[in-house]
Structure 1
Amino acid sequence: MKKIIATMTVASALFASPMVSNAAFGDQNLRSGMKNNDVKQLQQVLKQKGYFKNSTTTTYFGSITKQSVVNFQKANRLAVDGVVGSATFKALKVAGSNQSSNTVTAGSKVLKQGMTGSDVQKLQQILKQKGYFKNSATTTYFGSATKQSVVNFQKANRLVADGIVGPATWKALGNSGSASTTSKPSSSTNTASSASKLINTGKKYLGVKYVWGGTTPSGFDCSGFLDYVYKEALGVKLPRTVADIYKVGVSVKSPSVGDLVFFETYKPGASHAGIYLGKGKFLHSSSSKGVGISEMSNSYWSQRYLGAKKINY
């Protein structure tokens, strides 16, 4: 009993302030079905970051709390299991906590159409500085013009284009540079550069044999190849399986160079993926040929194509 009380005391300390501590959460995670004050404090932090949508918080970890955790995990490239363990606690501290002096101070507040306030005007000012808000004057009202400006910014920065300013959009507003009203956002150049690095790195391993479960240049399976290339080229860690990579990606109607293309092969759902090279070709590690380049129009791949997704770097 003393051990349980001590563990819960540590948990409470984690949420003592709006910033979650880096401290470990003992041996106890928070998950569906639990009921205690730590759950309520978790909900409060998720609410501050725009993920918990209920008007009030409770001490019960139910389906709404789990979905809020899942959404947070997806946005922060974590294992998407709805369980709050040490990695999720750490991310809860990091997400939205490093706002620069040029960003909106209310960076953890979700803004959407219909809202009013000084935060909306600050948002418009930043969007105007970056060339997205075209009105001559800014206001405190989040109307259709503001929403369209946000959508355009989100599309240019490879975000979910829903017109809602949540943590991911705040972060991009702070890191995408200060484009003028007559120039393109610097993120366009950064995106092209990242795609080029990704492809050039991947092509270095053309001919490497396929190995089930392989994660190194001595032999790659499909997801092992993608993860290795992303880490080497961009310092990005991908989930281990194609199914999980598919979950964290942002769907697009058609792939751009550097996007991932997904296929349904030996089991239902996404089970194979590759890096889109443009002109209908993609780079991947197949079980028959190892690392190579294939045509999307190939009869085998075209019949199994699921769609394309962007991975936010």
Structure 2
Amino acid sequence: MKKIISSLALCSSLIVLPTISQAALGDKLLKEGMTDPDVKELQDVLRQKGIFSATSTGYFGSITKDSVLSFQRSHSLTADGIVGSNTYQALIGNSTSTVTNGTLLKYGMTSNEVEKVQQLLKDKGYFNATPTGYFGTVTQTAVMNFQRDHGLAVDGIVGPATLNALNNASSSSTGSSTVNSSTQATASDIVAYSKKFIGVPYVWGGTSPSGFDCSGFIYYVFKNGGGVTVPRTVATLYQSGKNTSTPNVGDIVFFDTTGGPSHAGIYIGNGQFIHAGSSTGVTIASLSNSYWAPRYLGSKSVF
């Protein structure tokens, strides 16, 4: 018996599971039995193509499988009811979209395709910044607002359904009252909002007008003054965003006070930034200040 068990253990150690290298809607195969946000986006795409008539739920059931099979047969694909790379590319390639990148566009990416999406969002009144090609929190918020207004899965990711809707939706001039209510504030708006809290005391861990720490102040101002969610701590703020050679209004500026990025503020222009200082509370300071200048690490944009 001991010998048999040893043999079984040896055999099991030699089992190699197959590696799935295909990608569907960005990063995985989609098939029957799955529940996933990507499935909901797939269902939205199939509906736009007139193949899926049920409610998009995110569950890959028999109705979704039948719709996929129908699409595969009509496009001379292997009819297995599974959305792999070939089916995904066919879904994208059959789109009327003017942005044709075969991958998902999501937070943290930088590409020409992202810049095109930003321009589309700007044309429709959802994106007030200059298109840069960087997918930051402002772009993510704009995408989510657009998705919410157009009955799409609100995940802040530009997949085929969102892309189709962007290219087919009318401009902001035909629905400005709805679009404008959803747009995020500009950098100047965020700066103006931040100045309302000058004099609020410093409170370690504080994230409200009763008291802020430096990152709590930034988090609160961007969220409540611009509808933009940024990371809560200085360390995670520093890891996100796009480096800027010189700070622009609305950029986050970072300082090393303890070894590594440990303090941050919002650049307001003219060499000044607003921040929650431990000894001053919320105040405006100069980057050329004798204390801050040698500790300055750089700036990053979240737009």
Give the TM-score, by structure 1 length. Answer: 0.47
Larger radius of gyration: 2
Give the TM-score, by structure 2 length. Answer: 0.48
